[in-house]
Structure 1
């Protein structure tokens, strides 16, 4: 059973100055966990794990901002835990500090070589521990802000194309663990060039920001990913979402954008701004298989599943093209199974 949980020690662990930051302490010694919790109270929200396996489980569910990792633990040891953290694209950015009684140069060098950012020897020197943790939390905060700025579309404030491409790969691999269907919505503002020509580019920019706010308000679950894909086109990735739910969401987006009532005298489909939505859903070969496979490498379709994000993008793009060809201001949904294509009979269309 997992031993990962928030640690509260004798009423300590008040709200930290930055409640967003999370610190994961990984150590099988309860006395060391209690000591570190007392030393670091108020710096971040403290969680702990008693083994490497537990630490990886918690990190994959909710990555922390910093990990304090004991080198010697039963089962999956600290060094191997660090290697697995750094090998996982979704976790590689999380800094790891080793806390260990092995103080020789070889051990410290080994820890830094496999990806740790620092090395704290036992017995602990409290001021040094506090200073180093405070420094690395501050560096992580700065790094996150830089990543956010480089991943954000300057006009709309949502993710940009590069961030979407990177995020899709990460969220796809994470979603594969649940063996659930995955959906993608491609959203295009209808007759946007005409809108710009009629009302000017400042009005066009305001229109795109308004549509982006509608999309961002829809992507509320962990793992949902919304981005400006290019020009007047947006993308919304929905893990663990079946075809009917994705289609309903596409219809809701169409209605929400129409409800903005942004005038569009040059549109051929309505007097206001509308969107066309292409929805694609891919079902994994293992969906519904009993008992569920423990890992993707247990499946002979694993290579296709790992490469399927591009297939999902292509299917969504095809659905969007069909929506525009059918008259715009509508949703077209296509469903496929990884490695098997899609059935034309599964195409669903909705007008406004």
Structure 2
């Protein structure tokens, strides 16, 4: 990885791809597709920062390809610049009306092309930065509730195609109101930051997401993780928070800050709504609190049926393995 922005060049003429590659390869990573269908596939894998899209192509033309890109939830925000030998104003108007951000004609003027691309790349980077800030909790630096819900829906859509596994963990700091009352809100903020760092330290896979769901409640999304793995990770998180040894004399769960966790796991082909996964994990979280706090309780979601809850820590012989 070079850190350069990535541009996808879509053109059925190899010579045009070579010309654009020569113009752009100093400042950008350039990949290419020879058809509209291939462009959709490559864009889904590569997630380029900008697409240069030829209009006149066999099969899907540029207009049709642009329309499909804009209808795709994961690709609709990618800026598209049409490249064409057509110079009629009607063609330009049609392209812009489909969501393209610009329109350049062949033969290419390298200086002008690089300037236009640079402008649109900078605009996209600014939009991405604003979008990231809108989905980030400013205190902990984790994703916020909006970011978690957006990511959860995207993962459910992706994993539903292959009936993939997914787990959601909800976490609540035990007796946090009394902690704030006893130690003050600045200490409460420091506690939340430490818990957030402990959460990130335990959840280490690149595809997982940690979030501050609200107040003293945190959450994790674990794509591809089954019930057993999520329960083990939940116990690692629980033990890690307890090991922070943050004094909490007014807690009903112990002398230090602890957390109660709920786990919901299942396969995604059932297409349960995202809110059902959150609610299931939240129910398990409150069961953990009911059982005495500072523990992990989990449930495997099997379509319309659910298995009996399992809770840790408890004696091994009483665990109902799912």
Give the structure-2-normalised TM-score.
0.91
Cα pair distance change 1:219/1:110, threshold 3 Å: farther
- C-alpha contact 1:171 1:223 (8 A) present in aligned 2: no
Change (3 A) 1:176 1:59: farther
Q: Where in structure 1 are there 5+ consecutive unaligned residues?
A: 1-5, 7-14, 286-303
Rounded Cα–Cα distance in structure 1 between residues aligned with 2:161 and 2:58: 25
CA distance in 2, matches of 1:59, 1:87: 13
8 Å contact from structure 2 (residues 143, 210) kept in 1: yes
Q: Within the alignment, does 1:142 sit opposite 2:107 as a pair?
A: no
Distance 1:59 1:216, change over 3 A: farther
Asked if 1:337 is matched to 2:321, the reply is no
Paired residue secondary structure (1:134): helix
Structure 2 residue 115 is matched with structure 1 residue 131? yes
**Corresponding residue to 2:210 among 226, 233, 243:** 226
1:252 to 218, 221, 236: 236
Find the residue that maps to 1:168 and give its secondary structure. helix
**Deviation at residue 269 of structure 1 after TM alignment:** 2.1
The structural deviation recorded for 1:220 is 4.5
**Residue by residue, what CA displacement relative to the aligned partner does 1:255-308 show, whole Å, maximum 9, x if unpaired?**
2212222222222222221111111012234xxxxxxxxxxxxxxxxxx61x52
Q: Residue 149 of structure 2 contacts residue 274 of structure 2 at CA under 8 Å; is this kept in 1? A: no
Kept after mapping to 1: 8 A contact 2:10/2:35: yes
Aligned with residue 313 of structure 1, among 272, 278, 281: 278
Question: Aligned pair 1:113/2:113, yes or no?
Answer: no
* Matching residue of 2:288: 323
Q: What's the TM-score once normalised by structure 1's chain length? A: 0.83
Alignment root-mean-square deviation, CA = 2.0
Residues 283, 335 of structure 1: 8 Å contact kept: no
1:123-180 superposed Cα distances (whole Å, 9 cap, x missing partner): 1111111011111111111111111122211111111112222232223222323320
Specify the alignment match of 1:266 in structure 2: 250
CA distance 1:46–1:215, shift in 2 (3 Å): farther
Equivalent residue, structure 2, for 1:213 = 197
- The whole-number CA distance in structure 2 between the counterparts of 1:219 and 1:21 is 28
The CA deviation at 1:223 is: 4.2
Contact 2:202-2:236 within 8 A present in 1 as well:
no
| 2:272 equivalent to 1:278 | no
Aligned to 1:166: 150
User: Does 2:83 match 1:99?
Assistant: yes
Asked if 1:84 corresponds to 2:58, the answer is no
The 8 Å contact of residues 190 and 273 in structure 1, kept in 2 or not, is answered as yes
Aligned residue pairs, count: 314
Which secondary structure does the structure 1 equivalent of 2:233 belong to?
A: helix
Residues 178 and 240 in structure 1, CA contact (< 8 A), matched pair in contact too: no
* Greater alpha carbon shift after TM alignment, 220-229 vs 325-334: 220-229
